[in-house]
């Protein structure tokens, strides 16, 4: 359950709430644990940004995640 996914901060609202862009999905998340500015990349876990990342690293990790998740759609058959 320690999955964390990179996203770009596109808006910062009052009360430590941010809007982030995961690439295909925009979502409100909590920014209590990091000090960030719009345009920076963060790792998101259970609706909270847990760390900042560089833009390049964020984009790179995100493309890797996309590959992985598209691969996960082709699950092997469970025959047990």
Partner 1 sequence: MVVGKEITEKLHQMVDRDLTFMHICGTHEAAIARTGLRSVLPKRLKIVMGPGCPVCITPQGEIDAALELVKMGCIIATYGDLLRVPGSIGSLESCGGDVRVVQGVHKAVEIAERTDKEVVFISVGFETTAPTVAASLLTNPPENFSILSCHRLVPPAMKWLLQQGEAALHGFILPGHVCTVMGYHEYEEFPVPQVVAGFEAEDILLGLLMLVEQVKEGTHRVDNAYPRAVTHDGNRKAQDLMYRVFEPSDVEWRGFPVIPQSGLRLRQQFVQYDAQKKFKLQFKHISKDTACICDRVLRGIAEPADCKLYGKVCTPRTPVGPCMVSHEGACKIWHLYNIRHS
| Cα dihedral 1, 13, 60, 72 sign | positive
Looking at the chain, list the stretches that DSSP marks H as alpha helix, in order from N- to C-terminal side: 55-72
Instruction: Pick the closer one to partner 1 by CB: 39 or 79.
Output: 79
CB 24 within 8 A of CB 37: no
Q: Is 54 in the site for partner 1 (CB under 8 A)?
A: yes
Q: Is 68 in the site for partner 1 (CB under 8 A)?
A: yes
d(CA 67, CA 15): 34
Q: Is 74 in the site for partner 1 (CB under 8 A)?
A: no
Residues that bind partner 1 (CB under 8 A): 1-4, 15-16, 30, 32-35, 43, 45-48, 50-51, 53-54, 57, 60-61, 64, 68, 71-72, 75-80
């Amino acid at each position: 359950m320690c999955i964390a996914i990179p996203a770009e901060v596109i808006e910062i609202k009052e009360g430590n709430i941010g809007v982030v862009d995961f690439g295909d999905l925009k979502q409100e998340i909590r920014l209590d644990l990091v000090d960030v500015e719009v345009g920076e990349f963060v790792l998101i876990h259970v609706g909270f940004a847990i760390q900042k990342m560089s833009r390049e690293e964020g984009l790179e990790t995100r493309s890797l995640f996309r590959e992985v998740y598209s691969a996960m759609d082709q699950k092997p058959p469970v025959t047990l």
